[in-house]
């Protein structure tokens, strides 16, 4: 079994940090507890055991290495079912790892492009600008003099990831089968999510395509800049982009030194997020501070720069509607409306009791609204909405979970820049504008125009569709008629049966009466 050494490593780390104790007491397996307790004896009394459970999980993932760190980072976004302390601890996982130098960057370029690297580049830095679990980034200058960065995947990373995913799937099956309440943790779903995201990150062409679309969406925008991709020299495992020179958004001292209006910067962040979600339906979903920079050229109206578009979210019309209408209702503390929307739109089963849903929403939201505005988290409210809807059997779409995670990031970032950021004030007019716009003739006309080509395409099929529908109607009518006939026949049969039962009863009664009369006659 080729996975054995890796599996043993996972088991020993689980024993060292007693990960079984992360489960609530009611969901613990005694057998697993005994096994890990025995294997973990060498670490009894070790300082790590005194850490809170959430920190033990974080330390365990760090010990298991970059792929598991990435897994933990993704897991941290599942606030819809993870306890708060665990998602917080996982969010602070850092995957800064030493860079690789074999094969060298020149060799990688030549292997990808099939020609001498100097044909395209004047200079390429051999030591990386940054390195993480999956890729590393090198600064370079093109022969044209343009400054670029080259992002390349780590050697054999795909193979390592696939092996680890295989193992994690196996562990997920064990958890589902043998751990009490293990299914509730949805381990298979979590691994499938991870697989989707991480394998997506292995395709740098797709990251480049995302960056190109985001750049087009914000073409000439004063709010956001996205670096250009050099497609002619980019490949699936090597992405060349324009090098940007901005201030990292987390470097608040430098932003202040450039007189950047931090309040405005925080508000612009929210505006960009809502523009992406509601206007473009295409949002950057990896908004951690390492991926966001600020161009301080115009400090009163600074511009953001976003890199690393590997993870992108997109909302369907339904998702957009769900989000906008519910957020507006929550803003107004109209929990009845939230509940009614869920039933009306079919997001929860039709037999859901609106009053119960309303009460559940009120119970979770009211304590939140009691806090000062600066402490109210929009993302957390969404977590509560999804949790409540989940309790009433709504399956929350992964795109909405990704959005909620991004919102938490945007919010966290905004509040770091400007702690009094009133997200509601920035977002509310935006949502209302969006809602109104949907009712305006220009929007309806635009919607109509997008559907017209489909209708034109369908037009030649219209007579056939009408005939099919008439035939269908006729079939339905004859089925209906046949059912009526069968029902009438069954009714007649029942009536006949009842009449015959009645006749038998009368005959039996008459016979008994006759027998009693005869008996009486004999006796007298
Ligand atoms: N276009 C760019 N211009 C300047 N620096 C860049 C550019 N792209 C990336 N970098 C630098 O490289 C770092 C890592 O880039 P990127 O986030 O794309 O890689 P990653 O492997 O996905 O990292 P992580 O997993 O930490 O997000 C960035 O934080 C930034 O410092």
Q: In the beta sheet, which residues pair with residue 141?
A: 123, 147
Which atom number of ligand 1 is nearest to the Cα of residue 241?
A: 1
With cut-offs at 50, 70 and 90, classify the pLDDT of residue 521: low
pLDDT by residue (tens digit) across 381-440? Answer: 888 898 899 889 887 777 888 898 899 889 888 988 998 888 888 888 778 877 887 776
Residue of higher predicted confidence among 29 and 349 = 349
With cut-offs at 50, 70 and 90, classify the pLDDT of residue 496: confident
What does the pLDDT read at residue 318? 82
CA distances from 34 to 15, 37, 43, 256 (A): 10, 5, 15, 55
What does the pLDDT read at residue 287? 85
As a whole number of angstroms, the distance between CA 182 and CA 179 comes to 5
As a whole number of angstroms, the distance between CA 46 and CA 16 comes to 9
What does the pLDDT read at residue 435? 80
What does the pLDDT read at residue 417? 93
Q: Which region, left, alpha or beta, applies to residue 220 given φ > 0 means left and ψ of -120 to 50 means alpha?
A: left
- Find the mean pLDDT for residues 244-261: 96
CA 307 to centroid of ligand 1, rounded, Å: 7
Q: Are strands 247-248 and 130-131 parallel, antiparallel or unpaired?
A: unpaired
Percent of the chain residues topping a pLDDT of 90: 37
Active site residues: 286
Q: How many CB atoms are located within 10 Å of the residue 149 CB? A: 20
Query: Whole-number mean pLDDT of the chain?
Result: 86
Residue with tokens 């009394």: 45
For residues 108 and 152, is the Cβ–Cβ distance under 8 A? yes
Which burial class, exposed, middle or buried, applies to 300 when counting CB atoms under 10 A from its CB (0-12, 13-18, 19+)? exposed
CA 333 to centroid of ligand 1, rounded, Å: 41
As a whole number of angstroms, the distance between CA 307 and CA 366 comes to 38
Quick one: tokens of 35?
């096994």
Q: How many CB atoms are located within 10 Å of the residue 370 CB? A: 9
Write out the H or E segment, with its range, that includes residue 247.
strand 247-248
Tell me: pLDDT of 359 over 70. yes
Query: Which of 100, 130, 203 most suits a substitution to test ligand 1, by most atoms within 8 Å of the C-beta?
Result: 130
Which atom number of ligand 1 is nearest to the Cα of residue 135?
A: 21
What does the pLDDT read at residue 116? 97
- Find the mean pLDDT for residues 191-217: 93
Tell me: pLDDT of 512 over 80. no
Residue of higher predicted confidence among 484 and 299 = 299
Most confident of 203-212, 442-451, 465-474: 203-212
With cut-offs at 50, 70 and 90, classify the pLDDT of residue 239: very high
Tell me: pLDDT of 45 over 90. no
Alpha helices in 237-374 (DSSP H): 252-257, 262-274, 317-331, 335-344, 354-369
The residues, ordered by sequence, that sit 6+ positions from 237 with a Cβ below 8 Å of its Cβ are 108, 112, 152, 153, 204
What does the pLDDT read at residue 516? 67
Q: In the beta sheet, which residues pair with residue 284?
A: 312
Residue ranges around ligand 1 (CB below 6 Å): 95, 129-130, 132, 134-135, 137, 149, 151, 227, 241, 243-244, 290-291, 307-308, 310
For residues 113 and 143, is the Cβ–Cβ distance under 8 A? no
What does the pLDDT read at residue 451? 61
As a whole number of angstroms, the distance between CA 412 and CA 378 comes to 10
Residue of higher predicted confidence among 459 and 275 = 275
Quick one: tokens of 140?
């370079």
With cut-offs at 50, 70 and 90, classify the pLDDT of residue 522: low
What does the pLDDT read at residue 520? 63
Query: Which of 161, 242, 290, 292 most suits a substitution to test ligand 1, by most atoms within 8 Å of the C-beta?
Result: 290
Nearest to 281 by CA among 254, 316, 318: 316
What does the pLDDT read at residue 3? 74
How much is the ipTM here?
0.97
Tell me: pLDDT of 447 over 80. no
Write out the H or E segment, with its range, that includes residue 313.
strand 312-313
Tell me: pLDDT of 507 over 80. no
pLDDT by residue (tens digit) across 70-101? Answer: 888 877 767 666 787 888 888 777 666 778 99
Listed range (44-53, 157-166, 222-231, 475-484) with the worst mean pLDDT: 475-484
- How many residues comprise the chain? 524
Write out the H or E segment, with its range, that includes residue 418.
none
Quick one: tokens of 373?
């505005």
pLDDT by residue (tens digit) across 361-385? Answer: 999 999 988 887 777 888 888 888 9
Tell me: pLDDT of 259 over 70. yes
CA 308 to centroid of ligand 1, rounded, Å: 6
Which atom number of ligand 1 is nearest to the Cα of residue 132?
A: 21
As a whole number of angstroms, the distance between CA 286 and CA 409 comes to 8
Listed range (277-281, 476-480, 488-492) with the worst mean pLDDT: 476-480
As a whole number of angstroms, the distance between CA 13 and CA 65 comes to 11
What does the pLDDT read at residue 127? 95
Quick one: tokens of 312?
């992108």
CA distances from 485 to 361, 434, 476, 479, 482 (A): 50, 54, 14, 10, 5
Q: Is 347 helix (H, G, I), strand (E, B) or coil?
A: coil
CA 420 to centroid of ligand 1, rounded, Å: 29
Residue of higher predicted confidence among 475 and 139 = 139
Residue with tokens 């009691």: 370
Write out the H or E segment, with its range, that includes residue 94.
none
Beta strand extents in 162-223 (DSSP E only): none
Q: Is 236 helix (H, G, I), strand (E, B) or coil?
A: coil
What does the pLDDT read at residue 76? 75
Query: Which of 129, 230, 246 most suits a substitution to test ligand 1, by most atoms within 8 Å of the C-beta?
Result: 129
């Amino acid at each position: 079994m080729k996975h054995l050494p890796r599996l043993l490593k996972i088991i020993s780390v689980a024993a060292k940090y007693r990960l079984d104790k992360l489960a609530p007491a009611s969901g613990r397996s005694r057998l697993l507890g005994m096994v890990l307790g025995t294997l973990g004896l060498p670490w009894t009394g070790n300082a790590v055991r005194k850490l809170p459970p959430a920190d033990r999980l974080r330390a365990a993932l760090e010990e298991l290495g970059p792929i598991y760190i990435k897994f933990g980072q993704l897991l941290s976004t599942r606030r819809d079912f993870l306890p708060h302390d665990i998602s917080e601890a996982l969010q602070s996982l850092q995957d800064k790892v030493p860079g690789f130098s074999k094969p060298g960057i020149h060799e990688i370029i030549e292997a990808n492009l099939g020609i001498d690297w100097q044909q395209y580049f004047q200079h390429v830095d051999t030591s990386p600008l940054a390195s993480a679990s999956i890729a590393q980034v090198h600064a370079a200058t093109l022969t044209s003099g343009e400054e670029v960065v080259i992002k390349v995947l780590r050697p054999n990373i795909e193979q390592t990831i696939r092996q680890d995913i295989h193992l994690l799937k196996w562990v997920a099956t064990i958890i589902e089968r043998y751990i009490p309440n293990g299914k509730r943790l949805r381990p298979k779903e979590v691994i499938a999510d991870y697989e989707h995201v991480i394998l997506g990150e292995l395709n740098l062409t797709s990251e480049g395509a995302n960056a190109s679309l985001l750049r087009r969406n914000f073409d000439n925008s004063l709010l956001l800049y996205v670096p250009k991709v050099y497609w002619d020299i980019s490949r699936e495992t090597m992405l060349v982009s324009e090098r940007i020179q901005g201030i990292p958004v987390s470097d608040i001292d430098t932003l202040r030194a450039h007189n950047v209006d931090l309040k405005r910067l925080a508000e612009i962040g929210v505006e960009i997020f809502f523009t992406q979600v509601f206007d473009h339906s295409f949002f950057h979903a990896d908004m951690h501070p390492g991926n966001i920079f600020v161009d301080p050229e115009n400090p009163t109206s600074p511009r953001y720069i976003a890199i690393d578009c590997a993870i992108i979210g997109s909302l369907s019309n339904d998702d957009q509607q769900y989000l906008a209408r519910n957020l507006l209702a929550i803003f107004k503390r109209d929990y009845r409306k939230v509940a009614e929307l869920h039933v009306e739109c079919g997001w929860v089963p039709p037999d859901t009791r609106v009053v119960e849903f309303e009460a559940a929403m009120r119970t979770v939201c009211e304590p939140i609204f009691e806090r000062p505005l600066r402490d109210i988290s929009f993302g957390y409210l969404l977590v509560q909405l999804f949790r409540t809807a989940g309790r009433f059997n709504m399956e929350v779409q992964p795109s909405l979970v990704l959005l909620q995670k991004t919102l938490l990031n945007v919010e966290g970032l905004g509040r770091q820049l400007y702690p009094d950021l009133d997200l509601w004030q920035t977002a509310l007019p935006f949502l209302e504008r969006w809602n109104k716009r949907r009712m305006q003739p220009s929007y309806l006309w635009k919607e109509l125009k997008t559907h017209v080509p489909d209708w034109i395409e369908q037009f030649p099929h219209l007579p056939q569709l009408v005939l099919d529908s008439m035939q269908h109607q006729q079939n339905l009518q004859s089925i209906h008629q046949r059912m009526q006939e069968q029902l009438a026949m069954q009714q007649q049969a029942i009536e006949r049966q009842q009449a015959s039962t009645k006749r038998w009863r009368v005959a039996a009664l008459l016979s008994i009466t006759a027998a009693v009369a005869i008996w009486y006659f004999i006796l007298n």
